[in-house]
Amino acid sequence: MVTASRPLRADAARNRDKLLAAATELFAERGLDVPLEHIARRAEVSIGTLYKHFPTREDFVAQIFPQRLAALDVIGEKALAEQDPWQAFAGYLEDLYALQAEDRGLNDVLARDLPNAPEVVSACHRGAGHAGILIDRALAAGVLRADYSITDLATLTRAIAQVIRDSPGEWRRFLSIYAEGLRA
Amino acid sequence: MVTASRPLRADAARNRDKLLAAATELFAERGLDVPLEHIARRAEVSIGTLYKHFPTREDFVAQIFPQRLAALDVIGEKALAEQDPWQAFAGYLEDLYALQAEDRGLNDVLARDLPNAPEVVSACHRGAGHAGILIDRALAAGVLRADYSITDLATLTRAIAQVIRDSPGEWRRFLSIYAEGLRA
DNA sequence: CGTTAATTCGAGGCAACCCTCGACTTACGC
DNA sequence: GCGTAAGTCGAGGGTTGCCTCGAATTAACG
């Protein structure tokens, strides 16, 4: 039962776009918790209009992050193409956290449990799938500590998210130390 | 020029104690950001009375945490008494984070830059002093990766603080992996 | 006891953020 | 052009937390 909503009026479409652009910028700059009023202000639109188009913060997240999360697939594929199982896994971590470091909103999305939009959830699942394969490969090759699991990666992600928030310049070093501890 | 303040009236002393007890509990349970109103409520005292005794949140912190931080000295001494340089450093980390995991307030104090009370600051400095010695020893013995520094420990502390907040049961495992990466 | 200074109380003002609703405005089809 | 549905606006009500201040209370001392 698809409810075919009629096309937006011209001004409405314009405002929707401005809101989306503003939200994209502000999420990236300030993180997921930026006040909705700020988004409205940057979009030069009233708060009422914001709520008309995006009744909840989640609606913004659902519109904005699926594309962002597509990058996860890219780095996943890239890592799967790498021959050396250790290099594949370690490179994946580097790329993943580099991504997070570039976008505070993405950092939040990946580090919290919150994001409920199905598109976002499925993107995360795909990411976890890639990571799972990389872990299995590395385990099979005996280059990763034998008890490592995807749960540890989730923990690491939240930890690194915090490092990125506190001191954006240090995550790479932190990761390199942690990664040493990962080798079998 | 020491301003000798006269002793508190009996009821005032009682209320002060109740406030301190309530704050100690709530900081430990909920972290440093617990609303001051909650502290007043648990102490069964009005919000006005709370502000009379502790005009700022920092005043609570300054009264409560110096004793808590004394534990830092204890584990520092304990580690310095340990013969094996690696065991000394690794044990210190274990003890430190076990402490943090037991008290959300302490976790916050150690992981944020905020705490400005001189007593708190100096306790942190003493802790850093111990840690510095442990690091130097381990470096001299060649058991710690050669480029490790106290800055890395600060980063680790913030990262683990986050792990403790998110999933209190996992910090030990996380640390054990990281610590592997630390060996020379 | 009575005095009085110290203490307590909590209503209420301020600020940030959330969200709603009805009056006004405007795009668009005719 | 005009009528109308669609869209916009922003004042304002709700919440949570911070903090203040004057009226009411009370400990403590003679």
Residue-wise DSSP of B63-107: HHHHHHHHHHHHHHHHHHH-SSHHHHHHHHHHHHHHHHHH-HHHH
Do residues A134 and A143 lie in contact, with contact meaning Cβ atoms separated by under 8 Å? no
Query: Which of the nucleotides in strand C have any atom less than 7 Å away from a protein CB atom?
Result: 6-12, 16-22, 26-28
Chain B residue at shortest CA distance from A151: B170
Tens digit of each residue's pLDDT (9 = 90 or more) over B140-152:
999 999 999 999 9
What are the Cα distances from residue A106, in Å, to A31, A101, A109, A178, B36? 8, 8, 5, 22, 33
Counting one residue from chain A and one from chain B, the pairs whose CB atoms sit within 8 A come to 68
Percent of chain B with pLDDT over 90: 90
Give the 3-state secondary structure of residue B144: strand
Chain A residues 52-111 with Cβ under 7 Å of strand D are: 52-53
Q: Sorting pLDDT into bands at 50, 70 and 90, what band is B2?
A: low
| Residue A40, strand partner residues | none
Closest amino acid to nucleotide C18 (CA–C1'): A36
A151 vs B contacts (CB less than 8 Å)? 170
B interface toward A at CB cutoff 8 Å? 145, 148, 151-152, 155-156, 158-163, 166-167, 170, 173-174, 176-182
Whether residues A152 and B173 touch (CB distance < 8 A) is answered with: yes
CB burial readout A157-171, b (16+ within 10 A) else e: bbbbbbbbbbeeebb
The rounded mean pLDDT for chain B is: 95
A158 vs B contacts (CB less than 8 Å)? 162-163, 166-167
Give CA–CA dist A25/B161, Å, rounded: 29
Chain B residue at shortest CA distance from A178: B178
Do residues B161 and B94 lie in contact, with contact meaning Cβ atoms separated by under 8 Å? no
Residue of B173, B174, B176 to mutate, interface with A, max A Cβ within 10 Å = B174
Q: What is the pLDDT of residue A3?
A: 59
Tens digit of each residue's pLDDT (9 = 90 or more) over B72-109:
999 999 999 999 999 999 999 999 999 999 999 999 99
Query: Which of the nucleotides in strand D have any atom less than 7 Å away from a protein CB atom?
Result: 6-12, 16-22, 26-28
Give the 3-state secondary structure of residue A114: coil
Give CA–CA dist A177/B14, Å, rounded: 51
B110 vs A contacts (CB less than 8 Å)? none
List helix spans (H) across B103-170: 104-111, 118-140, 150-166
**A162 closest CB neighbour out of B152, B158, B179:** B158
B177 vs A contacts (CB less than 8 Å)? 145, 148, 152, 178, 181-182
pLDDT tens for chain A, 184 residues long, are 555 677 899 999 999 999 999 999 999 999 999 999 999 999 999 999 999 999 999 999 999 999 999 999 999 999 999 999 999 999 999 999 999 999 999 999 999 876 678 888 999 999 999 999 999 999 999 999 999 999 999 999 999 999 999 999 999 999 999 999 999 8
Do residues B94 and B77 lie in contact, with contact meaning Cβ atoms separated by under 8 Å? no
| Residue A144, strand partner residues | A183
Give CA–CA dist B131/B91, Å, rounded: 11
List helix spans (H) across A10-84: 10-30, 36-43, 47-53, 57-81
The residue type of A14 is R
User: Rounded mean pLDDT of B168-175?
Assistant: 97
Whether residues A179 and B182 touch (CB distance < 8 A) is answered with: no
Whether residues B155 and A170 touch (CB distance < 8 A) is answered with: yes
